[in-house]
């Protein structure tokens, strides 16, 4: 969390700190790790990409005169002789929230220099993410099997397929990339790269547990986007 290059800098909380921060010389966000600031900027740009997808979905769904497929039935599952609406999506939501919780704890234990606990929690997060991607693959193959295509589907408005595959596909890509990085970081944590301040593969930056927080920001963002997709695409 600290940047040793800036000496004699005292952070002020509240609005006076904000004024000092935005009007400061040389750098803004003094004392914030550059990787963390850059991750936030990246997440902001990613927010705009996902917003564009969701807004175009809103526009497409709003302007079609054909009935929109009823998501509750389209994504329902037939279990033990009963039709349960949105069952798979609900399980996916709970799995993603669980993995978000373990990630938040991993960040906490990382800052407390609890290497083992941090590593196990990152691994648990990765497995949660992998479960999520697996269920999404199941959902996709089920819908493709039922005849949903980006240009047509048997349930209603033909735009449904293209928005579904685009939005959940882009989100699933984010989750998959996150899972890959979670496994890498779990290895790096267990190997003690952050305790020994070992430098990374493509950087001269020394290892620090702040990297776990940066990874955590990305993972929570993936969960955050799912909250909006769940509300707008599946429940609406």
In the complex, the residues that contact another protein under the rule CB under 8 A are 1-2, 4, 11, 13-15, 17-18, 21-22, 28-29, 31-32, 37, 40, 44, 47-48, 51, 55-56, 58-59, 62-63, 65, 72, 85-86, 90, 93-94, 97, 100-101, 103-105, 108, 111-112, 209, 213, 216-217, 220-221, 223-224, 227-228, 230-231, 234-236
Nearer to another protein, 13 or 81 (CB): 13
Nearer to another protein, 72 or 147 (CB): 72
83-119 as b/e, with b when 16 or more CB fall inside 10 Å? eeebebbeebbebbebbbbbbbbbbbbbeeeebebbb
Instruction: List the structure tokens of 105.
Output: 């704890």
Say which residues have a Cβ less than 8 Å from residue 179's Cβ, sequence separation at least 6.
126, 129, 130, 133
Minimum CB separation of residue 24 from another protein in Å reads 9
Nearest-approach distance from CB 188 to another protein, in angstroms = 18
Residue 47: CB minimum distance to another protein, A: 7
Minimum distance between the CB of residue 41 and another protein, rounded to whole angstroms? Answer: 8
SS3 content of the chain, % helix, strand, coil (to 5): 65, 5, 30
- Specify the residue, 6 or 137, whose C-beta has the smaller distance to another protein: 6
Q: Report the nearest approach of another protein to the CB of residue 58 (Å).
A: 6
Pair 1, 31: CB distance under 8 Å: yes
């Amino acid at each position: 969390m600290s940047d040793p290059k800036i000496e004699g800098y005292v952070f002020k909380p509240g609005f006076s700190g904000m004024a000092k921060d935005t009007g400061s010389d040389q750098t803004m966000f003094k004392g914030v790790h550059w990787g963390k600031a850059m991750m936030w900027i990246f997440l902001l740009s990613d927010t705009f990409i996902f917003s564009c997808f969701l807004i175009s979905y809103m526009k497409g769904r709003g302007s079609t005169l054909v009935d929109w497929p009823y998501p509750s039935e389209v994504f329902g599952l037939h279990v033990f002789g009963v039709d349960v609406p949105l069952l798979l999506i609900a399980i996916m939501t709970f799995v993603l929230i669980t993995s978000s919780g373990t990630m938040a704890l991993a960040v906490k234990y990382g800052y407390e220099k609890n290497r083992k606990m941090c590593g196990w929690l990152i691994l648990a997060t990765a497995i949660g993410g992998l479960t999520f991607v697996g269920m999404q693959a199941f959902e996709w193959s089920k819908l493709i099997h039922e005849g949903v295509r980006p240009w047509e589907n048997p349930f209603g408005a033909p735009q449904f397929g293209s928005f579904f595959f685009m939005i959940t596909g882009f989100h699933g890509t984010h989750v998959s990339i996150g899972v890959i990085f979670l496994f890498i970081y779990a290895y790096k944590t267990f190997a003690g790269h952050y305790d020994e301040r070992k430098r990374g593969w493509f950087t001269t930056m020394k290892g620090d547990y702040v990297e776990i927080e940066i990874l955590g920001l990305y993972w929570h963002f993936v969960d955050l986007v799912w909250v909006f997709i769940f509300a707008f695409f599946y429940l609406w």
